[in-house]
């Protein structure tokens, strides 16, 4: 399938009905010749192979990505379409129908390059298949820019639990993209901890195309120094009886700036859909700044849709109470911060949802 | 320019309320150019500075694009609108002096009744200018100025010049520029220092001619320590051709003052209501918008409050009801520019018969807005499968010690509540109506009693086909 958009080199968030969600934009890497490696735990690889699945490195055409036409047909993510115009480098994890992989796949992509990096990690899960993956994207070198797409297709009644950590050793410009399409009764639990330093622009999309499909997107971010972070998470409901949750939390230190935008979209015909979002930021230090923009786009009446958002400091009364119990200020503050982030870690650890 | 128009309304439908055969005695005809603007200014015997302001605004209007967001405005033909017509050539001081045809219309929508029972004064706007003006002696004696803006320009030109366009410049948006160029009518209200207008002050607006633009310009100034509750209602008969209502409202709330501005808008579903409303709240003052949008084909209205003084408080309480072929694109903006400022937005919307109601809002904390707090709630009920609602809040925070909370919900009528009410013997239509009125209660309980009754009747009437 032809990629429909012309190549552009500058990205910025689109205007949504007159509202520009993130003012910052930066130049994306064109293509990458950076060297990189991957590793995974042998136990999971063996289990996937034994079930008829594969975990393989790709370096070339986008045609290798099964389900791509579906995704391109459903996504309005301009970054994904731009990303796929370059030769795709990365990993494909595919499972046939009814493959239930018990050991979690611990997959790490690492580069020590000084060149821009472009990675694609693509999941292709067959009917009734099940997989848990802990994915780490490690920019260990002096990578100036990275452009990573994590996406794929989940067939009927498949289940993907995905924990994604991204990290860099120095300040970089990172574009983190997500785009999944879920079929009937498929389930995606995706927890992200994007901790690359410097500038981070995230655009994470899930399309619930099949009846009864579900998705939960949990994201945590700590902002330090001059980090600039803008992350948009969007779950689009196309099928009936679909369910989604977006939970984003961030703690801001020093001069960091974090902007969360969450979008719940329910299209006409997606009756009995249930979409809820929660985005919260805690500003710990005086020069840190944060914004949250929760959006609902609802074209169906038989739905439950809501969002809650907040930005604020820790509660002074709670600090006072903890200090009155003998705790030093730093410890009291840390307890409140940990408590603030705890719901995301709990979701990440699979205790809820 | 037509000196005498023979405008004849047509295609009147009973369900859209009364319409009268009123013939304007002066009209600039259809369309707009510099000559139109000069004619308006000349007819009003305005000072030169106002004409200069109008002409400058017209240049800005021509250069500005239409809004790039929100509802479809492509069907408005700005060259097919009558920008000024005068229904009567003198201002009436007493109700008996108001021409019978016009009086009939006001009587049908209840202005005299409201005035007799509850209201202190009334400056009702008919088409493009005030035709009726009455202020109770006790308010007048306190120094309150309450009259149409045209008369104020004649009688208190220095006051108008001091405040006109100071909050909403012509360059704010295309329709603010258009209003500044062709404005006519509107209300001027000045409350002196430490004066409390202890009864609501009311004004009615009404469009009564197809293709008649209403460009009223309202200025409210509540001086230090003063307080006022201003109420404005809109209703219009239905016509085949689209009408445009592009008002500009500027409200200045000085230190320690209080102002509540209540609007009920019930334009017929051929009216484009594109309004710009903005208030400035100084130190320790309170500004409240109470805003009901029940009619129109398209409404674009985002009243804002600039909280410029420490400890200022702003609030917005709004409802929107969108039926067939209606698009209510409303919201609010709270701009915090000073320490310890607080704001609240509560927005409720009901969509039925395929209507669309969108919320579009902004909370902004500038660097100076230390310890600011804001709370936003948006709730929407979608009555049927063809109705839709989007929620677009933007929170722009440049401080680290502020607090902002936002909640929104979209759903259909609660089946659990319906089930309960039906189990108590109510039929589905009555139960649905009860739930809807309960949903709107935070808004209706803030209204003067007459408005609450009228709103109740309008909502029930509008949703007759949707409930049950």
Count of H helices and E strands in chain A? 5, 22
pLDDT grade, residue B268 (50/70/90)?
confident
Contacts of B461 (CB under 8 A, 6+ apart): none
**In the predicted structure, residue B371 carries a pLDDT above the cut 80:** yes
Share of chain B above pLDDT 70, in %: 75
**Residue of chain B nearest A302, judged by CA positions:** B412
Please state the domain extents for chain A. 10-313, 316-353
Is the minimum CB–CB distance between B408 and chain A shorter than 8 Å? Answer: yes
pLDDT at position B237 is 45
What is the mean pLDDT of the segment spanning B431-452?
A: 83
| DSSP letters for B15-49 | GG--------SEE--BS--HHHHHHHHHHTT--HH
DSSP state for residue B177 in the 8-state scheme = H
- The burial class, CB within 10 Å (0-12 / 13-18 / 19+), for A246 is buried
Reading the block at residue B105, the tokens are 């219309």
Is-contact B189 B230, C-beta < 8 A? yes
Annotate A276-315 with b (16+ C-beta within 10 A) or e (fewer): bbbbbbbbbeeebbbbbbbbbbbbbbbbebbbbbbbbbbe
| Contact by Cβ (8 Å): A274, A243 | yes
Read off the pLDDT band of B275 (50, 70, 90): very high
Asked if A24 is an interface residue toward chain B (Cβ–Cβ < 8 A), one would say: no
- pLDDT given at position B434: 86
- Please give the backbone phi and psi of residue B103, each rounded to the nearest 5 degrees, phi first: -60, -40
Q: pLDDT for B401-419, tens place per residue?
A: 888 888 888 888 888 888 9
Helix then strand then coil, in percent of chain A rounded to 5, is 15, 50, 35
Chain B residue with minimum CA distance to A290: B397
In the predicted model, is pLDDT for residue A58 greater than 60?
Answer: yes
- Chain A hits for B409, CB-CB cut-off 8 Å, are 304-306
CA distance B462 to chain A (A): 18
**Nearest neighbour of A298 by CB, restricted to B67, B360, B390:** B390
Q: Read off the pLDDT of residues A262-277 as tens digits, 9 standing for 90 and up.
A: 999 999 999 999 999 9
Q: Give the phi and the psi of residue A212 in degrees, each rounded to 5.
A: 75, 5
CA distance B320 to B322: 6
Residue A175 in this model has a pLDDT that exceeds 50? yes
Interface contact B21, partner A, CB < 8 A: no
At B59, the pLDDT band (50, 70, 90 cuts) reads very high
Does residue A194 sit at the B interface (CB-CB below 8 Å)? no
- Among A297-311, B210-224, B426-440, the minimum mean pLDDT is found in B210-224
- Four-CA torsion A63, A152, A141, A34, nearest 10 degrees: 0
Determine the pLDDT at residue A87: 77
Decide if A295 and B385 are in contact by the 8 Å CB cutoff: no
> Distances in Å between the alpha carbon of A343 and those of A245, A280, A291, A351?
13, 11, 20, 10
Q: Where are the beta strands (DSSP E) in B55-163?
A: 85-86, 121-126, 129-135, 145-148
Binned at pLDDT 50, 70 and 90, residue A105 comes out as very high
Summary mean pLDDT of chain A: 86
pLDDT at B428 over 90: no
Per-residue pLDDT, averaged over A271-284, amounts to: 92
- How close, in Å, is residue A213 to chain B by CA atoms? 20
Read off the pLDDT band of B21 (50, 70, 90): low
| Residue A345: Cβ within 10 Å count | 15
In eight-state DSSP terms, residue A242 is -
CA distances (Å), origin B273, targets A20, B76, B265, B279: 24, 11, 9, 19
At A145 the three-state DSSP class reads strand
Looking at per-residue pLDDT, the higher value among B68 and B113 belongs to B68
In angstroms, the CA B159 to CA A147 distance is 59
Q: Does B415 touch chain A (CB under 8 A)?
A: no
Mean pLDDT of B190-196: 95
Q: Given this model, what pLDDT does residue A29 score?
A: 56
> Residue A166 is encoded by which pair of tokens?
């991204």
Verify whether the Cβ–Cβ distance B390 to A18 is below 8 Å: no
pLDDT at site B140: 81
Chain A residues within 8 A of B385 when measuring between CB atoms: 268, 271, 300-302
Query: Highest mean pLDDT: which of B65-79, B100-114, B129-143?
Result: B65-79
- DSSP state for residue B170 in the 8-state scheme: G
Band of residue A287 on the pLDDT scale cut at 50, 70, 90: confident
Token pair of B246, please? Answer: 């592009």
Tell me whether A255 touches chain B (CB under 8 Å). no
What is the ipTM for the molecules in this complex? 0.76
The pLDDT of residue B12: 37
Distance CA B93, CA B399 (A): 52
Whether the CB-CB separation of A151 and A124 falls below 8 Å is answered with no
Cα B291 from Cα A350, distance rounded (Å): 45
Q: Categorize the per-residue pLDDT at A63 as very low, low, confident or very high, splitting at 50, 70 and 90.
A: low
Instruction: Return the sign of the alpha-carbon dihedral for residues A124, A128, A129, A130.
Output: positive
Confidence band for B296, pLDDT divided at 50, 70 and 90: confident
Q: Looking at chain B from residue 344 to 363, which residues have their Cβ under 8 Å from any Cβ of chain A? A: 351, 358, 360
- Burial class from Cβ neighbours inside 10 Å (0-12, 13-18, 19+) for residue B360 reads buried
pLDDT for B201-226, tens place per residue?
A: 776 554 544 434 588 899 999 999 99
pLDDT band at A15 (very low <50, low <70, confident <90, very high): very low
Instruction: Give the residue with greater pLDDT, B403 vs A14.
Output: B403
CA B217 – CA B149 distance, rounded (Å): 7
Q: What is the pLDDT of residue B241?
A: 53
Res B456 pLDDT > 80 = no
Question: What are the helix and strand counts (H, E) for chain B?
Answer: 11, 24
Hey, which of A100-104, B135-139, B268-272, B395-399 has the most confident mean pLDDT? A100-104
Choose the closest CB to A18 out of B67, B385, B398: B67
Model pLDDT for residues A318-337, shown as the tens digit of each residue: 899 999 999 999 999 999 99
Q: B26-43 pLDDT, tens per residue?
A: 666 777 889 989 988 998
Structure tokens at B429: 């239509």
**Band (B239; pLDDT cuts 50, 70, 90):** very low
**Which of A287, A305, A311 lies nearest to residue B397, judging by beta carbons?**
A311
Nearest to B388 among A17, A298, A309 (CB): A298
pLDDT per residue as tens digits for the range B71-109: 888 888 888 777 776 655 444 445 565 556 545 545 544
Q: Tens of pLDDT along A73-100?
A: 767 777 777 777 777 889 999 999 999 9
pLDDT of B463 reads 67
**Which segment of B153-167, B335-349, B385-399 scores lowest on mean pLDDT?**
B385-399
Exposure string (b/e) for B249-271, b if CB count within 10 Å is 16 or more? bbbbbbbbbbbbbbbbbbbbbbb
The shortest CB-CB distance from B408 to any of A287, A296, A300 is to A296
CB proximity B67 to A under 8 Å: yes
Task: Say what the pLDDT of residue B267 is.
Answer: 78
Q: Are B150 and B191 in contact (CB under 8 A)?
A: no
**Which of A43-52, A217-226, B264-273 comes out lowest in average pLDDT?**
B264-273
| Residue B34 CB neighbours (<10 A) | 12
Confirm if B217 and B149 have CB atoms less than 8 A apart. Answer: yes
Domain ranges of chain B: 14-301, 414-468
- What pLDDT score was predicted for residue A84? 77
The verdict on B228 touching A (C-beta cutoff 8 Å) is no
Instruction: State the pLDDT at residue A189.
Output: 95
Please tell me the distance in Å from B407's CA to the nearest CA on chain A. Answer: 4
DSSP state of A25: -
Examine the pLDDT at B131 and tell me if it is beyond 50.
no
pLDDT digits (tens, 9 = 90+) for B340-368: 999 999 999 999 889 999 999 999 999 89
Q: Which helix (H) or strand (E) holds A150?
A: strand A145-154
Report the largest interatomic distance among the alpha carbons of chain A, rounded to a whole angstrom.
65
Q: Give the model's pLDDT for residue A27.
A: 57
Please give the pLDDT value at position B127.
44
Lowest mean pLDDT, pick from A178-187, A188-197, B6-15: B6-15
Query: How large a percentage of chain A has pLDDT more than 70?
Result: 87
Q: Evaluate the CA torsion angle B123, B124, B130, B133 in order and state its sign.
A: negative
Q: What's the pLDDT at A95?
A: 97
In angstroms, what CA-CA distances link B466 with B299, B352, B353, B355? 21, 6, 6, 11
| pLDDT at A104 > cutoff 80 | yes
Q: Which of A298, A302, A317, A340 to mutate to test the interface with B (most CBs of B within 10 A)?
A: A298
A311 and chain B: CB distance < 8 Å anywhere? yes
Residues of B in contact with A304 (CB under 8 A): 409-411
């Amino acid at each position: 399938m032809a990629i429909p958009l012309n190549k552009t080199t500058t990205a910025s968030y689109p205007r949504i009905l007159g509202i520009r969600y993130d003012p910052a934009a930066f130049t994306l890497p064109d293509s990458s010749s950076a060297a990189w490696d991957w590793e995974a735990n042998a136990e999971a690889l063996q289990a996937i192979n034994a079930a008829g699945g594969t975990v393989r490195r790709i370096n070339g055409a986008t045609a290798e990505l099964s389900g791509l036409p579906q995704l391109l047909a459903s996504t309005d993510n301009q970054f994904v379409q731009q990303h796929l115009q370059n030769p795709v480098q990365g990993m494909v994890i595919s499972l046939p129908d009814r493959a239930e992989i018990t050991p979690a796949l611990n997959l790490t992509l690492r580069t020590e390059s000084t060149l821009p990096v472009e990675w694609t990690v693509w999941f292709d899960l067959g009917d009734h298949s099940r997989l848990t993956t802990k994915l780490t994207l490690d920019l260990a070198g002096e990578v100036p820019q990275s452009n990573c797409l994590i996406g794929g297709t989940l067939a009927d009644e498949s289940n993907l639990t995905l924990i994604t950590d991204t990290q860099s050793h120095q300040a970089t410009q990172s574009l983190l993209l997500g785009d999944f399409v879920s079929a009937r009764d498929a389930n995606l639990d995706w927890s992200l901890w994007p901790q690359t330093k410097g500038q981070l622009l995230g655009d994470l999309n899930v399309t619930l195309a099949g009846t009864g499909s579900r998705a939960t997107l949990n994201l945590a971010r700590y902002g330090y120094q001059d980090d600039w972070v803008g992350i948009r998470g969007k779950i689009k409901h196309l099928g009936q009886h679909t369910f989604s949750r977006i939970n984003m939390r961030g703690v801001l230190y020093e001069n960091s700036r974090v902007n969360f935008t969450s979008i719940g979209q329910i299209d006409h015909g997606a009756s009995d859909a249930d979409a809820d979002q929660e985005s919260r930021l805690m500003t710990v230090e005086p020069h840190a700044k944060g914004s949250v923009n929760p959006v609902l786009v609802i074209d169906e009446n038989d739905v439950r849709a809501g969002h809650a958002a907040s930005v604020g400091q820790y509660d002074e009364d709670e600090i006072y109470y903890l200090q009155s119990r003998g705790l030093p200020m730093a410890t009291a503050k840390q307890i409140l911060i940990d408590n603030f982030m705890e719901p995301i870690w709990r979701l990440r650890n699979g205790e809820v949802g | 320019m037509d000196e005498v128009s023979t405008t004849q309304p047509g295609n009147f439908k009973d369900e859209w309320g009364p319409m009268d055969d009123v013939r304007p005695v002066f009209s600039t005809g259809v369309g707009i150019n510099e000559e139109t603007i000069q004619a308006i200014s000349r007819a009003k015997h305005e000072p030169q500075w106002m004409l200069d302001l109008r002409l400058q605004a017209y240049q800005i209007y021509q250069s500005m694009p239409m809004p790039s967001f929100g509802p479809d405005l492509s069907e408005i033909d700005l060259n097919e609108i009558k920008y000024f017509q005068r229904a009567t050539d003198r201002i009436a001081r007493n109700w008996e002096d108001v021409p019978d045809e016009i009086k009939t219309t006001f009587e049908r929508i209840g202005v005299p009744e409201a005035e007799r029972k509850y209201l202190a004064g009334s400056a009702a706007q008919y088409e493009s200018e005030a035709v009726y003006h009455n202020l109770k002696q006790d308010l007048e004696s306190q120094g309150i100025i309450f009259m149409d803006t045209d008369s104020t320009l004649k009688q208190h030109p220095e006051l108008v010049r001091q405040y006109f366009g100071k909050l909403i410049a012509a360059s704010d948006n295309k329709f603010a520029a258009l209003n500044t160029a062709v404005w006519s009518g509107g209300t001027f209200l000045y409350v002196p220092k430490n004066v409390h207008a202890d009864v609501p002050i009311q004004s009615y607006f009404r469009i009564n001619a197809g293709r008649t633009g209403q460009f009223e310009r309202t200025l409210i100034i509540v001086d230090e320590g003063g307080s006022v509750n201003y109420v404005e209602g809109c209703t219009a008969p239905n016509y085949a051709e689209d009408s445009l209502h592009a008002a500009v409202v500027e409200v200045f709330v000085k230190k320690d003052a209080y102002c509540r501005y209540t609007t009920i808008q019930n334009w017929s579903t051929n009216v484009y209501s594109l309004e710009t409303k903005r208030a400035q709240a100084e130190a320790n003052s309170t500004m409240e918008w109470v805003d009901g949008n029940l009619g129109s084909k398209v409404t674009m209205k985002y009243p804002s409050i600039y909280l410029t003084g420490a400890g200022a408080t702003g609030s917005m309480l709004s409802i929107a009801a969108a039926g067939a072929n209606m698009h209510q694109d409303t919201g609010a903006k709270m701009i915090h520019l000073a320490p310890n400022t607080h704001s609240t937005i509560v927005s409720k919307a009901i969509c039925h018969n395929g209507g669309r109601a969108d919320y579009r809002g902004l909370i902004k904390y500038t660097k100076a807005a230390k310890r600011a707090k804001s709370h936003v709630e948006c709730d929407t009920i979608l009555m049927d499968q063809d109705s839709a609602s989007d929620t677009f809040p933007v929170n722009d925070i440049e401080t680290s010690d502020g607090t902002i909370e936002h909640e929104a919900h979209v759903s259909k009528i609660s089946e659990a509540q319906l089930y309960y009410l039906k189990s108590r013997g109510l039929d589905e239509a009555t139960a649905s109506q009860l739930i809807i009125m309960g949903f709107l209660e935070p808004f209706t309980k803030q209204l003067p009693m007459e408005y609450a009754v009228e709103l109740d009747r309008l909502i029930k009437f509008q949703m007759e086909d949707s409930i049950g």
